[in-house]
């Protein structure tokens, strides 16, 4: 009798140990947010329109972003540590610089660009018998570890008895409550209000604002898009493109300006800093994005390349054609001087 009891208990322990093992083998969800594929645009635009995530577009944008190591690895506010000095040979120094470039490329990875999300308005059930059951809403969140935050079930039971899915703002807030992400606050920091944004822009801190925005908001939320649009508008108005040049936000800014067809200021700025290649790639990107514009068709017919592209763009599209032509002439003079000096 006792032997039977112990045998039964042994069997149970074996099964429990097996269950525990199976539980531990559950896969761990990866927390890295990688570049997500671009969502489908509205039905109005054609399917041939190049997306932000196309490899050709990304290649051009990364080339324009540049790789200024001094700026990417400039000292950020960290806890005070005494500096470490290393004695290296030339070869070791080259290897270290190569490692630094690879890390800089990873840091310069462009954040995802998605169209604005549509509001959720799904009612799961209407129970009029529950009307007046309580003065507060009940919000139910599913805390299963293995599901993506986008697919999580978050429902709200209103005091009048309707069971509806939670809106995007509620979802973001509750996901932050139960699965807190570092740096994200429950209520958005006051810096993202209109007046405060203006003050921060006057202090030339666009990059910090964009970094904060990236941490705080989801890439397809209306706040994220609004803050980014305001930042890019301000940069365009004052011509402060250099602030974003070697950062991860440069691609996003270029894409926005191209979409709004206001890339003239950027081209002028590039020519002023003698970055002819960047200007040329910007114009070719413009032709990719707007293939039906006059300058694009002209360029395609003439098979132009290099400075000719810029001339065609200056003639046909831009409002500041005078500036661009002047800058081109100055650049050509410089190149002739250099070649004659050599």
Partner 1 sequence: MVHLSSLLLKNYHGGYVVIRLALAGHKQANRPFYRIVAAYNKRARDGKYLEQLGSYDPLPNIYNEKLVSFNFDRIKYWIGCGAHPTKPVAKLLGLAGFFPLHPMTITEAERRRAQTELIATEDVLQEGQKEAEV
Residues binding partner 1 (CB under 8 A): 9, 12-13, 16, 124-125, 127, 129-146, 153, 155-157, 161, 163, 174, 177-178
Q: Minimum distance between the CB of residue 165 and partner 1, rounded to whole angstroms?
A: 11
User: Cβ of 61: how many Cβ atoms within 10 Å?
Assistant: 21
Q: Minimum distance between the CB of residue 230 and partner 1, rounded to whole angstroms?
A: 27
Distance CA 320, CA 189 (A): 38
Contact status, residue 134 vs residue 159, Cβ threshold 8 Å:
yes
Closest to partner 1 by CB, 136 vs 148, is 136
Instruction: Find tokens 């070869």 and name the residue.
Output: 91
Closest to partner 1 by CB, 10 vs 107, is 10
Q: Minimum distance between the CB of residue 151 and partner 1, rounded to whole angstroms?
A: 13
Closest to partner 1 by CB, 62 vs 141, is 141
- Side-chain half-sphere exposure of 327, counting CA atoms within 13 A: 23
Q: Minimum distance between the CB of residue 191 and partner 1, rounded to whole angstroms?
A: 21
- Cα→Cα distances 13→23, 26, 214, Å: 15, 21, 49
Contact status, residue 154 vs residue 124, Cβ threshold 8 Å:
no
Contact status, residue 252 vs residue 113, Cβ threshold 8 Å:
yes
Q: Minimum distance between the CB of residue 120 and partner 1, rounded to whole angstroms?
A: 16
Closest to partner 1 by CB, 97 vs 133, is 133
- Strands of the 162-165 sheet, one edge to the other: 123-126, 162-165, 154-157
Question: What pairing do the DSSP bridges indicate for beta strands 162-165 and 154-157?
Answer: antiparallel
Nearest to 235 by CA among 254, 212, 216, 261: 254
- Backbone dihedral region for residue 334 (phi beyond 0: left; psi -120 to 50: alpha; all else: beta): alpha
Q: Minimum distance between the CB of residue 223 and partner 1, rounded to whole angstroms?
A: 17
Closest to partner 1 by CB, 26 vs 77, is 26
Distance CA 309, CA 112 (A): 29
Closest to partner 1 by CB, 149 vs 238, is 149
Which residues are CB-neighbours of 100 under 8 A, at least 6 positions away? 69, 73
Closest to partner 1 by CB, 166 vs 283, is 166
Closest to partner 1 by CB, 157 vs 249, is 157
Q: Minimum distance between the CB of residue 2 and partner 1, rounded to whole angstroms?
A: 14
Closest to partner 1 by CB, 82 vs 132, is 132
Q: Minimum distance between the CB of residue 144 and partner 1, rounded to whole angstroms?
A: 4
Q: Minimum distance between the CB of residue 160 and partner 1, rounded to whole angstroms?
A: 10
- Side-chain half-sphere exposure of 128, counting CA atoms within 13 A: 0
- Backbone dihedral region for residue 40 (phi beyond 0: left; psi -120 to 50: alpha; all else: beta): beta
């Amino acid at each position: 009798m006792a032997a039977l009891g112990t045998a039964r208990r042994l069997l149970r322990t074996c099964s429990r140990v097996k269950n525990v093992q199976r539980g531990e083998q559950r896969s761990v969800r990866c927390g890295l947010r990688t570049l997500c594929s671009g969502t489908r645009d509205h039905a109005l635009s054609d399917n041939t329109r190049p997306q932000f995530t196309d490899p050709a577009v990304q290649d051009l944008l990364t080339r324009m972003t540049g790789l200024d190591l001094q700026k990417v690895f400039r000292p950020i506010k960290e806890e005070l540590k005494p500096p470490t000095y290393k004695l290296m040979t030339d070869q070791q120094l080259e290897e270290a610089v190569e490692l630094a470039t690879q890390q800089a490329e990873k840091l310069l990875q462009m954040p995802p660009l998605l169209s604005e999300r549509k509001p959720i308005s799904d009612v799961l059930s209407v129970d009029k018998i529950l009307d007046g059951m309580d003065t507060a809403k009940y919000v139910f969140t599913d805390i299963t570890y293995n599901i993506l935050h986008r697919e999580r079930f978050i429902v709200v039971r209103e005091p009048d008895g309707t069971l509806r899915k939670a809106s995007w703002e509620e979802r973001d807030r509750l996901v932050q409550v139960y699965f807190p992400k570092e740096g994200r606050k429950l209520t958005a920091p006051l810096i993202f209000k209109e007046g405060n944004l203006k003050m921060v822009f006057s202090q030339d801190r666009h990059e910090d604002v964009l970094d904060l925005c990236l941490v705080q908001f989801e890439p397809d939320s209306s706040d994220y898009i609004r803050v980014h649009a305001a930042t890019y508008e301000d940069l365009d108005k004052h011509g402060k493109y250099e602030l974003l040049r070697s950062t991860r936000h440069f691609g996003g800014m270029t894409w926005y300006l191209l979409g709004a067809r206001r890339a003239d200021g950027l081209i002028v700025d590039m020519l002023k800093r003698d970055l002819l290649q960047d200007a040329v790639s910007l114009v070719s990107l413009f032709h990719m994005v707007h293939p039906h514009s006059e300058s694009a068709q002209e360029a395609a017919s003439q098979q132009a390349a290099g400075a000719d592209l810029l001339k065609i763009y200056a003639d046909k599209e831009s409002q500041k054609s005078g500036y661009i032509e002047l800058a081109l002439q100055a650049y050509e003079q410089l190149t002739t001087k250099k070649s004659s000096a050599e």
